[in-house]
Structure 1
Amino acid sequence: MKNIPNIITCSRIILSIILFFTEPFHLPFYIMYIISGFSDMIDGYIARKTKAASILGAKLDSIADLTMTVVIFIKLYPIVDIPRLIFIWIVIILILRLLSMSIVFIKYHTFGIIHTFANKGSGIILFCFPIFYPFINTSILTYSICALATLSAVEELLIHLTSKELNINQKSIFHI
């Protein structure tokens, strides 16, 4: 029972890899995508309810999130018309994220992405992108995603720069 959350998280990594081989915006893509998103919601919930939450589980969750994000970006970038400014903004966000990961590795000798409210919020809005893409103006979606992703990336960077220890379950910079 204690391994179920980690099994669900690992299944998300596998589903994300399978998602790489599906055609975007078609039924198999949406099925895999929504199952992956659902698994992201339930793994942590089950871990907390069964008192099976662990450092390994939190790290696996971050790896699964990162895997899914990279796969979706690779699949959608050639299809979605992203304005140059948005592309530059995405690169800046990626640099901030890589800087945060580097600081974590240098300070704590491990991999870690903090599960802040802002990170969760940007993850949710990013998750919604492929679902709403056919129905909503791309600029509105991309600017909204980039704004929240920038906020969450800066918050995480500030947390890493000011914290004495790594707490991947820290909810915000105001909960130090």
Structure 2
Amino acid sequence: MRNRLPSLLTAARFPLALGLLAAEVSTRFLALYLLCCLTDVLDGLAARRLNACSAFGARLDSAADLAVTAVLVWRLWPLAAPDPWLTLWICVAAAVRLAAALAARLRFGRFGFLHTWGNKCTGVLLALYPFALVLTGSRWTLVIVLIAASLSSLEELVIECRAEQWAPDRRGLWEKR
């Protein structure tokens, strides 16, 4: 049972995502989203602590993250009501991130993302974004997230194009491998 705990925490994000889909965007929505964030943090900690890391767990985690992200975009996009320039910026940042993953696939046979400090900071900002949007209603929080996402995407693309081997735990462009 202990070795299943990380996967159970990860799998809990799927019904939580459905709850986000059904909930009005309010404090209940934010409470469910907070549970999604907590399970995302705790599943990785539990996997490492229990020595239960696995390829299946990593794929399940990515699928759960994608499910929650898709629901957030679906539910929060109308509230953010970004202008066309912000929409274009989002698409360009996502395209650069995808190009980095494709570069890793072509060069090293692995489709994946790096765990750089830039990506971690972007992840934290993305995690905080729904709270900032719902509580303040300001679109400026999206601009801050987009700046971080753009810089970390570019960094990852440069790393993947210059790297000599696949190194998913590389901390940043400055780190030699």
- Bin the TM-score by the shorter chain: 0.7 to 0.9
Q: Which residue of 1 aligns with 2:167?
A: 167
- How many aligned residue pairs are there? 175
TM-superposed deviation, 1:62: 3.0
CA distance in 2, matches of 1:96, 1:130: 23
Q: Which residue of 1 aligns with 2:78?
A: 78
**TM-score normalised by structure 1 residue count:** 0.85
Structure 1 letter corresponding to 2:85: L
CA distance in 2, matches of 1:59, 1:168: 15
Structure 1 letter corresponding to 2:127: F
Compared with structure 1, are the counterparts of its residues 24 and 134 closer, same or farther at alpha carbon in structure 2 (3 Å cutoff)?
Answer: closer
CA distance in 1, matches of 2:168, 2:151: 17
CA distance in 1, matches of 2:67, 2:159: 23
Structure 1 letter corresponding to 2:140: I
Q: Secondary structure at the residue paired with 1:165?
A: coil
Compared with structure 1, are the counterparts of its residues 33 and 63 closer, same or farther at alpha carbon in structure 2 (3 Å cutoff)?
Answer: same
CA distance in 2, matches of 1:63, 1:55: 12
Compared with structure 1, are the counterparts of its residues 159 and 7 closer, same or farther at alpha carbon in structure 2 (3 Å cutoff)?
Answer: farther
Pair 1:111-2:111 in alignment: yes
CA distance in 1, matches of 2:169, 2:56: 12
Report Cα offsets for 1:90-119 as digits up to 9, x if no partner. Answer: 111111122122223333444322222221
**TM-score normalised by structure 2 residue count:** 0.84
TM-superposed deviation, 1:61: 2.7
TM-superposed deviation, 1:132: 1.8
Superposition RMSD in Å: 2.2
Pair 1:21-2:25 in alignment: no
Between 138-147 and 1-10, the greater mean CA deviation after superposition: 1-10
Identity %: 27
The gaps in structure 1 that reach 5 residues or longer are none
C-alpha contact 1:62 1:113 (8 A) present in aligned 2 = no
